[in-house]
Structure 1
Amino acid sequence: MSSFATLNTLSVGTDYEALAERFRPIFTRIAEGAVERERTRTLPFEPIQWLKEAGFGAVRVPAEFGGAGASLPQLFQLLIELAAADSNVTQALRGHFAFVEDRLNAQAFSPQNAWFERFVAGELVGNAWTEVGDVKIGQVITRISRQGEQWVANGTKFYSTGSLFADWIDLYAQRDDTGADVIAAVRVQQPGVRQSDDWDGFGQRTTGSGTSVFENAVVEDDHLIDFSTRFKYQTAFYQLTLLAVLVGSGQAAVREVAQQVRVRARVFSHGNAAAVRDDAQVQQVVGKASAQVYTAEAAALRAAQASQRAYLAHFAKDEQAEHEANIAAELESAQAQVVIADLVLRATSDLFNALGASAARTGLQLDRHWRNARTAASHNPLIYKERIIGDWEINGTEPPYVWQIGGGNQPARAEKEPQSA
């Protein structure tokens, strides 16, 4: 254990019910406005402000520093509850909790009191990593350079999830002087940062995932972080947040369809009861979906335990044990991803079998659960995760801990000559 962290300063868990009760009234308020926000595509500035004021962003900060000291399974259980209220809000906070997790791990080597104080004060961190357009795999166009007495950032990022609601942006860039990959913690409120709400996906439409432009945005010296020090189970962590989005979407779908069935007066002549709520086949549809979502939640929380073990292993001064814990965290998040995506996508689609065509009316917005789940499930392609798991099982090949997306280097395909008969 390092001199900067002892068992008392680690986030090993707290009384979950007491913690959740702090936020459940806010979750209820968030749920009450979810359909209208979806219908009008209104960004959840107010709901996120409620969470900031309640200290939600600091639940992983150790209790000694004013946070809740929640474990990772407890964090993701909370994020599932929040996603059941509005899955867009959970996804909007994805970058924040990842940055918090990185600072928790950095506490093993240097004090992070200043960041912990910011988190406890309600400050949030957004995300700006992905570049689009003419960028190749492994290439980073966004640059950090020296301008007089200060560092500045220049570049454009897309998929800046949550940044519109944030006080800081976790910016992935490259130093001009050394070529090293870095994380720049950039203050949002400055002239060099411009943000747009131009995400146009059919799901997760209010996550604030648009474009961020940095034009000589100032980066303070101590807010430039070597990417090589980034916490090693980060990919697993990002995936777990998506799993919370998926599970919460499924829970909300079951809840809302069950309510629609409960009050539905119209029945089909070839149905099985005088009231839809008593129709055995309709009950079966809702029951199966409930079981699918239950299993999805269990898998997500099981996978979160592996990441908690990786977090604790980081402080145990046993490199081999930490390495093995990081492998387990990545593999278990991938295993959970494969089954959870399938379970939730089926549940959010098949639930429509419990209702008539009126369930497709835009006023209900029941389709948002499938759309949101489909979008969240598309972030990290399932086919590659399945292959990675299989390669581990067969050959013991370690999973990649960081991956990128960009243009390939393949030559253009030549058109085939038509074949004669």
Structure 2
Amino acid sequence: MTQLTDLETSPLRASADGASASRASAGNLPEAQREELSLGADYEAVAAKFRSIFERIAATALEREHQRRLPHEEIDWLKQAGFGAVRVPRKYGGDGVSLPQLFELLIELSAADSNITQALRGHFAFVEDRLNQHATTDQSAWFARFVSGETAGNAWTEVGEVKVGDVNTRVQETPNGLVVNGEKFYTTGSIYADWLDVYAGRHSDDEPVIALVNRHQPGVTISDDWDGFGQRTTGSGTTVFENAAVDAENITVFTDRFRYQTAFYQLVHLATLAGITEAALSEFAQQARARKRVFSHGSSEQWSQDPLVQQVVGVASSQSFAARATAIRAAESAQDAYLARFSAVAGLEGAVEEEQRANQRAELESAQGQVVIIDLALDATSKLFNALSASAASEAKALDRYWRNARTVSSHNPVIFKQRIVGDWAINGTELPYAWAIGAQKNSTAE
């Protein structure tokens, strides 16, 4: 069991002193190197480029929900506008936003359609890995792809009889080059993507690797067979690889993956939940404002002036505020981990130790945020129905989609286990896990 020092186990000092150390060390980097980083941008200027697209996406979200229509066109709008490159440094044609700014943008997108945010989750994680790899190797070719509108999807979760920690998907050497064979589920966003971020085992030595596979080839088949009751259009179905070609330069060892990736993936869910809560608040408030019918035993002759209705919406508004604030605050630690990587590679004094602490803070605070935001989102999207009446249950309105979507997002990365590891940290100073796996028990057969 690894334990952290008193400095690292103090919640206040871990958040304040540690974050200051990361930012200070990044400030000691040469100016030329700082230009290679994504340190932040004028948020309103960046957001203004996409808000009209968000509005168009929101305008057809209910229609897509009813028809279960995948948002290919809507995601293309974002690609063409450069949304997938907002984290790319300005030097390489992106917007250079910080991680808190990225997640604030994702909250706005989630308020328009939370399915699209989740569909882009794998892409932004892949971009983040390229940003970290840029500390040691030139990633300008990938940056150019992102700026041109190319995106990546996720292909990590194994299908079939696989034990925890094992992987059936393989990268193999053939006379015609390297190929990938296997089957994955929960391949969120892959159906919209140009590249697939594939977790696999290298056949020659069983080393876990990441294979970056071009999605536009005959050896890749993607099915929209996700049948969840929420987040219905994320494209989280099955992907099959049959001798799918992959270039040797696009194979990386998994342990080289950016260290705060688990935190990053969770932060996308936090932003998604915050956006769902904001969207639900906005729609229920609008319908309460427009409602004309009242009850004889109500508290006002006008529905919008009823203090009990106002109370319900007021609580949800406060929950929405808290969810947004928590998600953005948790992202600050991930930004510190990003900066700490470059300081450590540059060999600045104490930077290696600070990078380790920064990665732990990022994981801890994303988990703490998860524990809190899930309850905020689920409570708000359920109790807001008290601000209307039975007409809110209309299938035509589909107001239940907010709760269904929040419940579905909340089911990822089970919060009960995150609650435990946060408690273990608070009591014992135990490090949070960098990565984890899912599968059958080692002594059983998978169902």
Q: TM-score band (shorter)? A: over 0.9
Q: Please show how residues 64-143 of structure 1 align to structure 2 within 5 Å.
A: 64-143=91-170
Match in the other structure for 1:313: 340
Match in the other structure for 1:33: 60
**What secondary structure, in the 3-state scheme, does the structure 1 residue paired with 2:355 have?**
helix
Contact 1:267 1:276 (C-alpha < 8 Å) held by counterparts? yes
Q: Please show how residues 254-333 of structure 1 align to structure 2 within 5 Å.
A: 254-317=281-344, 318-333=351-366
**What secondary structure, in the 3-state scheme, does the structure 1 residue paired with 2:168 have?**
coil
* Residue 253 (str. 1) matches residue 280 (str. 2): yes
Match in the other structure for 1:170: 197
Tell me which of 349, 353, 362 is aligned to 2:382: 349
> 1:305 & 1:276 partners in 2: Cα distance?
41
> 2:30 & 2:250 partners in 1: Cα distance?
22
Which digits, 9 at most, give the CA deviation of each residue in 1:95-149, with x for residues without a partner?
A: 0000000000000000001100000000010000001321100010000000114
* Residue 379 (str. 1) matches residue 412 (str. 2): yes
* Residue 43 (str. 1) matches residue 70 (str. 2): yes
> 2:50 & 2:444 partners in 1: Cα distance?
54
> 2:281 & 2:37 partners in 1: Cα distance?
36
Contact 1:4 1:108 (C-alpha < 8 Å) held by counterparts? no
Which amino acid in the other structure matches residue 401 of structure 1? Y
* Residue 367 (str. 1) matches residue 394 (str. 2): no
> 1:124 & 1:218 partners in 2: Cα distance?
18
> 1:9 & 1:370 partners in 2: Cα distance?
41
> 1:93 & 1:195 partners in 2: Cα distance?
16
Contact 1:5 1:108 (C-alpha < 8 Å) held by counterparts? no
Contact 1:192 1:217 (C-alpha < 8 Å) held by counterparts? yes
Give the structure, 1 or 2, with the largest relative contact order (CA under 8 Å, sep 6 or more): 2
Which amino acid in the other structure matches residue 335 of structure 1? Q
Match in the other structure for 1:206: 233
Which amino acid in the other structure matches residue 155 of structure 1? G
Deviation, structure 1 residue 411: 6.2
Deviation, structure 1 residue 409: 2.9
Contact 1:4 1:107 (C-alpha < 8 Å) held by counterparts? no
Q: Please show how residues 379-418 of structure 1 align to structure 2 within 5 Å.
A: 379-410=412-443
Which amino acid in the other structure matches residue 94 of structure 2? G
Which digits, 9 at most, give the CA deviation of each residue in 1:331-379, with x for residues without a partner?
A: 0000000000001100000000001111011111111111010010110
Match in the other structure for 1:417: none
Match in the other structure for 1:21: 48
> 1:293 & 1:19 partners in 2: Cα distance?
23
**What secondary structure, in the 3-state scheme, does the structure 1 residue paired with 2:44 have?**
helix
> 1:308 & 1:285 partners in 2: Cα distance?
35
Which amino acid in the other structure matches residue 242 of structure 1? H
Deviation, structure 1 residue 5: 7.4
Matched-pair identity in %: 61
Deviation, structure 1 residue 273: 1.2
Q: Which runs of 5+ in 1 are unaligned?
A: 413-421
> 1:274 & 1:124 partners in 2: Cα distance?
53
Moved more, 126-135 or 106-115: 126-135
Match in the other structure for 1:216: 243
* Residue 239 (str. 1) matches residue 266 (str. 2): yes
Contact 1:60 1:70 (C-alpha < 8 Å) held by counterparts? yes
> 1:170 & 1:411 partners in 2: Cα distance?
29
> 1:3 & 1:156 partners in 2: Cα distance?
45
Moved more, 263-272 or 338-347: 263-272
> 1:290 & 1:4 partners in 2: Cα distance?
43
Deviation, structure 1 residue 3: 9.9
> 1:205 & 1:93 partners in 2: Cα distance?
14
> 2:399 & 2:175 partners in 1: Cα distance?
54
Moved more, 341-350 or 265-274: 265-274
Q: Structure 1 189/258 Cα, relative in aligned 2: closer, same or farther at 3 Å?
A: same
TM norm structure 2: 0.91
> 2:336 & 2:436 partners in 1: Cα distance?
22
> 1:27 & 1:365 partners in 2: Cα distance?
20
> 1:134 & 1:217 partners in 2: Cα distance?
22
* Residue 60 (str. 1) matches residue 93 (str. 2): no
Alpha carbon RMSD of aligned pairs, Å?
A: 1.3
> 2:433 & 2:228 partners in 1: Cα distance?
27
Moved more, 48-57 or 274-283: 274-283
How many residue pairs match? The answer is 412
**What secondary structure, in the 3-state scheme, does the structure 2 residue paired with 1:164 have?**
helix
Which amino acid in the other structure matches residue 124 of structure 1? T
Contact 1:4 1:111 (C-alpha < 8 Å) held by counterparts? no
